[in-house]
Each structure stands twice: as structure tokens, then as C-alpha cells.
Amino acid sequence: MNYPDSEENRSGRRQKGSQHTVPQQQPKLDEREQAAPPAPGNGSYDAQLLELERELGDTRGSPGRESTAFDPHVIWKQLLSEFALELQPDRLDAWIQESWIIHYEDGQFIVGLPNAFYLDWAESRLRPRIKRKLAVIMGRASVDVTFRVQPRPAADTRGTKPAPLYDTHPASGQAVPAPAVKVTPVSGAQGRRPTWGAPMNTKYTFESFVVGNHNRMAFAAAQAITEAPGQRFNPLYVYGGVGLGKTHLLNAIGNCLIEKDHRVIYCSAEQFANDLIEAIRDRTTDLFRGKYREADALLIDDIQFIAGKESTQEEFFHTFNHLHAAGKQIVISSDCPPRNLPHLEARLRSRFEGGLQTDIVAPDFETRVAILQTKASRQGLNVPAEVLMLIAERVSTNVREMEGALNNVWMQAATHNMPLTLSLVEGLLGNLAPRRAPCPPTQTLQLVADHFGFRVEELTGRRRTADIAQARHVAMYLLREENGLSLPAVGDYVGGRDHSTVSHGVEKIGKDLQRDEVLRQVVMSLRNRMYQP
């Protein structure tokens, strides 16, 4: 697909992007689009900065600058003291009382925790609050926190008790040496080389990614680009709802490429915008552009953040063009396909649509159970199968919430020294809304028949035209996967067909969903309508 070299650069107006999911050839970019925007003169920095801060004002605010001299341990202690006022001590001490700072540099904390369970609990329950509080304490626009399973080294404790998450006793007056932390002082624009991008989460790998029908295509595409970065599916655009595994997949790509000695930058679109503001303020835009444009792979999470932000889109557009022209890999995640992103420039939309678009939807029941089994196994948790099935049934649309529910019930049982029984878990999950039941099987048949333009009698009859067979197979698939019927029961609803015929129809639709975007949209629409009140 060749990009036009006139309209989009003259007007920048939105135009309808390509409807092709996978192009036959890589785009050839116009020379005027490949060129970087002119370097700002001395008088243009303030204008650029004001424009960017105006765009980001609703999410960024106007915090002050970070102090040039501070001890990150003191900052961390202040944070923990604030938490002590909000959370009960027994709840707080239970999972991160042994937290400690491994490393700090330019707004990024790396915090050590004693084991994987504590790490997962802190990430799922406390990380957003920790980031917000640190940003306020330090007077920064944003602060990032990465947790790692790394117990406090004995050499650093000097025989003292590990520092709790907050202080419950007055200080003794004797200072305890803290672990060595690399701190980059802030001294204005001179002598300061900013650090962009976020640390990769090393626990998010392809091996720890549970594959099911809901994410198989996205997983296969992610693995394919690590074999030949920049050559196939460039860009790779992954979209789906919250907590379904997009961030996991981007980190898995990054970790795999790093193992192969590629230079990888992973960050959210919001962080990209914030880094740009920092670079304009400190007059280090050349360093900013060099950092992002020297990468072998650029992984951008939550690209929807730049919608409506013209200056950020302008910078990202040129960064995209530079990397794409150099054959570097670009991976983007979003909560919706490019055509549904509001207030996105047409030239960016066409580039996002010029690679491979693939979605991740909510996993089916069997996959949810498999995800929980994998999670429990990796954390060394002995959880009965029936408990995992109950959690999978009660939390059905968000993998992150489902994993949080597993952590919650296990922690509660361990704290009170009680066995994980169904009755206990049922009570612990009482605050979770039960899964909304799908419509009755007869209504499922009616929905499918109406969508394809047939009568229910035709779906359950003996005609075998291609159109009717396709609709009948979709009905079988939904009755099996969403209504949860057995194969013989599905057969009864579709005209008394035997279980082998039903099994073939269900399996066929499951395979077709991996390569047929139109069919996938049809099934998603019907599935959503099945759960509407």
C-alpha cells in the first residue's frame, strides 16, 4: 500500500483508512513525511511547551519540579507513613513489610519484595496509588514503580530487622546505612541525559502467557515478529479491553527481543508525551528523538492516550516514520481498533491500519481456569480445582481482576489458617458481582437466526446450503461456549444432531475465528447480545 504524498501532509485531515488487515507490501513513505520536524529555535520552546501542557493538562496537572537533592529512601519512608494512616497495619504488613529500594533514577523506583505472591499483590492492589502518591511527594508529573522479587541482601541490612512498609516505633536516633542506590541529580538542562521508556516486566514472557481462542492470533503474531523484527506485521496493532493481556504480550515481545540483543523501548503513550514535555522544557529534544529513534523496537502501550493531542501526535508521527523507514519494529496496543480512535489524525490512522490488527477478547471458561491454574502453580499455591473453577465462573471479563480474586482468597485463607473450601471462597467472593447468565438456548438460536436472516426452523432443519451451515455452526459454537451445554444437548437444540456433528461445527468455528475478522466481529456481537438484560 502506497501512502499519498499530498492530501494528508497539506491538510492533516482525517480520511478513511485502508480496510485491509494485512497489506501485500510494506508502505513506502513520502520523503516529506520521513523528514523530522524542524528543530525548534530559541523562541519556540515556550510555545511548544505551553501547547503540550495544554493538551496534557487534564491528566498531567502542573506539578513543581523535583528537588535537586533528596534521598529516595526518605521519599519512600514518607510514602509508607502516608499509607500507614490509610490502611490497617495487619493488612499492610502482611504482604510488603519487607519492601526496599533496589534502584532509583529519574523518577523510576525499582522496589524489592520477598516473593512472587507479595509482588503480585502489590502490583494488583497498590501500584497505582503508590505512583500517584510518589508523584505528589516529589513534585513530578509522573513517577514509575517496578516491583521485583528480590529479598533484601543480608549485607545491606547490617543485622537489622528489614524496614517495614511504615514505621510503628519512634526512631532510635541512630542512622542505619541504606542499600546503595544510584540517584541521578537534576541540575537543569545542562549535563542531564534523561532516561526514557519503562523497565520491562521480566515475569511477562511468552512462556507465562496462557493461550486460548480469545488471544491465539495475537500471540502467534507477537511470536512471529520476534523472529524477524520489522519485516512482518509492522506495525503490529493489538487491541482489546482492560486486563486481558495486552501489556503482558508487549512485555513478552520486549523481553524476547532483549534476549536477542535488540534495543527495545517500551512505554505508555502517556509516558511518551510526558518525556516530550520534559525534553522541550530542558531543551533536550535532540536527545529525546535520538533515544526513541535509535531503538530496534518501539512498544507503545495505550496509544488511545494521544487521541486529540495534536502536538504529541505530530512528534509520534515523525518517530513512527523514522523507525518504519529504517525497518524497525513497532508494536502498539489500544482499547479499540484504529478506525474507532477519536480525534486521531488520518495519517496516523492509516499507518496503524497498514500493518496487522488483532484483538484480544475475554477468555472462555476453560481458558480462565487454565490461567488460574498457571498462576497458582507459578506462585506455589495449592488451590483445589473446584475453587479455581468457582473464581473463573464469578470473574469472567477481566483476567487481572480474576488473578486479584485468586490472591485475595488465598491470602485470606492463609492469614486465618483456614482451608480453601468452596463455602469459604463463596463467602470471600461475596463482594464480587456474580457472572450475568447468558440468555436461554432458545433465545440464542433466535439471535443467530435473526442475524443471518433465517428462521429458527431453517437452522434446526436439514438443509445444507453454505449460508445455513455457517449460521448453524455459529449457533452450535455459542450454545457450547456461552450457554455451556454439553455436545448432546447442543445437538438436541439444533435438530437432533449427534455429538460428533456438533463437535465438528464447534471446532470449525473456533479455527475460523483465528483467521476471519468478519466472522470474529459477528460472533463478538452475538455474544454481547446474549448477555444483555
Chain centre to alpha carbon of residue 242: 7
Q: What is the mean pLDDT of residues 55-72?
A: 49
pLDDT in tens, 481-496: 888 888 888 999 999 9
Judge whether residue 2 has pLDDT over 80. no
- Mind listing the pLDDT tens digit for each residue in 278-301? 888 888 888 888 889 989 999 999
Is the pLDDT reported for residue 5 higher than 90? Answer: no
Q: Which helix (H) or strand (E) holds 465?
A: none
pLDDT tens for each residue of 392-421: 877 877 788 888 888 888 887 777 778 887
Question: Would you state the pLDDT for residue 45?
Answer: 52
CA atoms within 13 A on the CB side of 18: 20
pTM for the full predicted model: 0.49
Q: What is the overall mean pLDDT for the chain?
A: 76
Give the three cell numbers for residue 226: 520476534
Q: For the chain, give the percent of residues with pLDDT over 90.
A: 26
Mean pLDDT lowest for which of 32-46, 448-462, 468-482?
A: 32-46
pLDDT at position 15 is: 41
- Total count of residues recorded for the chain: 533
- Residue 476, phi-psi category: left (phi > 0), alpha (psi -120 to 50), beta (remainder): alpha
pLDDT tens column, 436-450: 678 899 999 999 999
Q: 211: which DSSP letter? A: P
The three three-digit cell numbers of residue 444, written as one number? 440464542
- Interatomic CA distance for residues 221 and 358, integer angstroms: 8
Res 468: pLDDT: 93
Task: Judge whether residue 153 has pLDDT over 90.
Answer: no
The pLDDT assigned to 77 comes to: 79
The SS3 of residue 360 is strand
- Mean pLDDT in residue range 337-350: 89
pLDDT at residue 236, as a whole number = 96
Q: What domains sit in the chain, N to C, each tagged with a CATH number?
A: 72-157 (3.30.300.180), 195-360 (3.40.50.300), 365-431 (1.10.8.60), 441-530 (1.10.1750.10)
Average pLDDT over residues 233-241: 92
Report which secondary-structure segment, H or E, holds 265.
strand 264-268
Which 3-state string (H, E, C) describes 318-337? Answer: HHHHHHHHCCCEEEEEECCC
Sheet holding 108-113, edge to edge: 100-105, 108-113, 144-149
**Interval 24-63: pLDDT, tens:** 444 444 433 444 444 444 445 556 656 665 555 544 443 4
| Residue 24 pLDDT | 42
Please state, in angstroms and rounded to a whole number, the distance separating the CA atoms of residues 438 and 530: 5
DSSP code of residue 306: G
| CB of 18 closer than 8 Å to CB of 1 | yes
Residues 406 and 393 sit within 8 Å (Cβ to Cβ): no
Give me the amino acid identity at 250. L
Determine the 3-state secondary structure of 531 from DSSP: coil
- Rg of the chain (C-alpha set): 26
Mean pLDDT lowest for which of 6-10, 130-134, 446-450? 6-10
Three-state DSSP at 89 gives helix
- Identify the three-state secondary structure at position 528: helix
pLDDT in tens, 179-222: 333 333 333 333 333 334 667 888 889 988 888 888 899 999 99
pLDDT, residue 197, reads 60
CA 413 from centre of chain: 29
Q: How confident is the model at residue 362 (pLDDT cuts 50, 70, 90)?
A: confident
